């Protein structure tokens, strides 16, 4: 039979030149199908997935050993930090890492642009079809005009001092306008709970509310990446205290909430109908998960957990409680973070980190995080993430352990 999906009416597909591929398994975005046949049209679009092909159909298809999947979705990246590869030592902890990034921001612009281009090409070669990219500047804009990768650009707002909120928002808005005027999918987003003041949160969410029905209704925020982040909000202690002292920032205005960082700022993100990507979640606990689910019901928001295990190991030396996040029912996706906090920009490598730590998680589940869940999180699921008729999601070949072999399309 040929697979049909609820979102696609069962209409005859126009005849056109096709080619077909088969493998030990084909993952269609939903499940693994043994020895299925995928039919592709002359515009690289999916025509059909035949899950019980006869011998003649299989014989006509190009056959591969391994698993065929849609192209990967990298839901969290910092492309503009690609010049920092190897520049920051491992195990600094988040406050130490953030301080290093600030020190190393001033690089030769030509070096930055070359490394952005190289990282973009490497991601494509590693099977990445789309990226949710954090932007603090317009450095990556030129590359995004020529890339094969589809980007959603998260223009990041930073500023913990309330009196700086207007200036910081205006700067980020100028960056956003540069992307928006070139028709790039983009939205203004908060960096993290510890780096965004209440008035800056209000400005960000007001801007998102104005565009809640458009393509830039997606929020992304770094969440609970370190134990120090929660300590800062619970009791105004921990490594973020010397971090702000070293910046010369007067944070005497700040009163700890007695709650985790996420529980403190989650109400600030309550934009009805928006999508919210919570990134890292290394120190997220049960009460945080419960609050996310409650807010999602009340506001109609869709939340996603974005896991960046390579970066978590690089900076903090530990992974999130992935079983807790998985049991929550909130969709999980994968990201690479930056080359300043990871050895490579590869979703396949992120899968390997998780498989090593949690071998009990089925391949089918992991591949869903790497493909369709990521496409949905970025709002690209009408074109990417699964082998459904009319989509052009790319075609990858993995081995049975989910190690990347090559890009077929």
Find the distance separating the first CA and the last CA of the chain, reported in whole Å.
Answer: 24
What SS3 class is residue 11? coil
| pTM reported for the whole predicted model | 0.94
Beta strands across the sheet bearing 332-334: 218-223, 275-280, 302-307, 332-334
Place of tokens 């973020």: 240
pLDDT, position 4: 40
Four-CA torsion 271, 274, 280, 283, nearest 10 degrees:
40
In this structure, the answer to whether residues 167 and 81 fall within a common structural domain is yes
Expressed as residue numbers, the domain containing 391 is: 1-71+387-409
Q: For the chain, how big is the Rg over CA atoms in Å?
A: 22
Return the CATH number at 397: 2.30.40.10
- pLDDT of 216 above 70: no
What confidence tier does 17 reach under pLDDT thresholds 50, 70, 90? low
What SS3 class is residue 86? coil
Quick one: average pLDDT of 210-220? 71
Quick one: average pLDDT of 400-407? 96
In this structure, the answer to whether residues 402 and 277 fall within a common structural domain is no
Q: How far apart are CA 200 and CA 170, in angstroms?
A: 10
Quick one: average pLDDT of 22-46? 97
Residue 396: count other Cβ atoms within 10 Å of its Cβ: 27
In this structure, the answer to whether residues 161 and 283 fall within a common structural domain is yes
Return the CATH number at 346: 3.20.20.140
- pLDDT of 3 above 60: no
DSSP 136-180: SSSTTHHHHTT-SSEEEEEEEE-B-SGGGHHHHHHHHHHHHHHHH
Contact between 345 and 335 under an 8 Å Cβ cutoff? The reply is no
- pLDDT one-digit tens code per residue, 134-180: 999 999 999 999 999 999 999 999 999 999 999 999 999 999 999 99
How many structural domains are present in the chain?
A: 2
In this structure, the answer to whether residues 263 and 368 fall within a common structural domain is yes
**Kindly report the CA angle at 391 between 386 and 396, in degrees rounded to 5?**
50
Contact between 303 and 338 under an 8 Å Cβ cutoff? The reply is no
What confidence tier does 344 reach under pLDDT thresholds 50, 70, 90? very high
In this structure, the answer to whether residues 330 and 400 fall within a common structural domain is no
In this structure, the answer to whether residues 36 and 113 fall within a common structural domain is no
pLDDT, position 14: 45
Contact between 231 and 303 under an 8 Å Cβ cutoff? The reply is no
Q: Which two tokens stand for residue 134?
A: 């954090």
Contact between 41 and 20 under an 8 Å Cβ cutoff? The reply is no
Average of per-residue pLDDT values in the chain: 94
pLDDT, position 217: 83
In this structure, the answer to whether residues 31 and 79 fall within a common structural domain is no
In this structure, the answer to whether residues 146 and 40 fall within a common structural domain is no
Half-sphere exposure of 381 (CA within 13 A, CB side): 18
Describe the crossing of helices 94-103 and 227-235 by its angle, rounded to 10 degrees. Answer: 100
In this structure, the answer to whether residues 193 and 253 fall within a common structural domain is yes
Contact between 135 and 153 under an 8 Å Cβ cutoff? The reply is yes
> Exposed e or buried b for every residue in 41-65, given b needs 16+ CB within 10 A?
beeebbbbbbbebeeeeeeebeebe
Q: How far apart are CA 144 and CA 19, in angstroms?
A: 30
Q: Where is 353: in which H helix or E strand? A: helix 347-357
In this structure, the answer to whether residues 110 and 251 fall within a common structural domain is yes
In this structure, the answer to whether residues 60 and 178 fall within a common structural domain is no
In this structure, the answer to whether residues 255 and 326 fall within a common structural domain is yes
pLDDT, position 13: 41
Q: How far apart are CA 245 and CA 160, in angstroms?
A: 13
Q: Phi and psi at residue 357, in whole multiples of 5°?
A: -85, -35
């Amino acid at each position: 039979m040929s697979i049909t999906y609820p979102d696609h009416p069962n209409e005859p597909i126009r005849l056109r030149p096709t080619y077909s591929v088969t493998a030990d398994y084909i993952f269609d975005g939903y499940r693994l199908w043994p020895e299925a046949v995928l039919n592709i049209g002359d515009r690289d679009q999916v025509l059909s997935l035949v899950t019980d092909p006869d011998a003649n159909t299989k014989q006509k298809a190009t056959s591969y050993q391994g698993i065929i999947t849609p192209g990967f979705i990298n839901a969290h990246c910092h492309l503009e930090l690609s010049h920092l590869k190897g520049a920051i030592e491992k195990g600094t902890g988040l406050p130490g890492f953030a301080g290093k990034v600030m020190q190393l921001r001033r690089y030769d612009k030509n070096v930055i642009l070359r490394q952005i281009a190289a990282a973009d090409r490497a991601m494509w070669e590693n099977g990445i079809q789309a990226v949710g990219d954090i932007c603090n500047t317009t450095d990556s804009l030129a590359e995004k005009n020529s890339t094969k990768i589809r980007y959603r650009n998260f223009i990041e707002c930073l500023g913990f001092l309330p009196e700086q909120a207007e200036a910081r928002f205006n700067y980020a808005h100028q960056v956003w306008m540069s992307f928006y005027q070139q028709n790039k999918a983009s939205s203004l987003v908060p960096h993290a709970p510890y780096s965004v003041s209440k008035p800056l949160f209000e400005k960000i969410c007001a801007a998102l509310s104005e565009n809640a029905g458009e393509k830039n209704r997606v929020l992304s925020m770094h969440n609970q990446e370190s134990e120090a982040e929660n300590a800062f909000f619970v009791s105004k202690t921990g490594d973020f205290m010397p971090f702000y002292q070293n910046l010369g920032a007067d944070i005497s205005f700040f009163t700890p909430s007695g709650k985790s960082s996420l529980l403190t700022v989650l109400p600030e993100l309550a934009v009805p109908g928006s999508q919210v990507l919570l990134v890292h979640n290394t120190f997220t606990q049960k009460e945080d998960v419960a609050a996310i689910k409650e807010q999602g019901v009340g506001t109609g928001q869709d939340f996603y957990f974005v896991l960046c295990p390579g970066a978590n190991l690089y900076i903090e030396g530990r992974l999130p409680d992935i079983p807790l996040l998985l049991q929550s029912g909130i969709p999980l996706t994968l990201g690479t973070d930056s080359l300043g906090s990871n050895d490579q920009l590869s979703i396949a490598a992120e899968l390997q980190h998780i498989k090593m730590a949690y071998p009990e998680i089925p391949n089918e589940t992991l591949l869903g995080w790497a493909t369709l869940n990521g496409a949905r999180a970025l709002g690209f699921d009408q074109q990417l993430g699964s082998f459904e008729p009319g989509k052009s999601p790319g075609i990858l070949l993995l081995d049975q352990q989910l190690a990347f072999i090559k890009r077929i399309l």
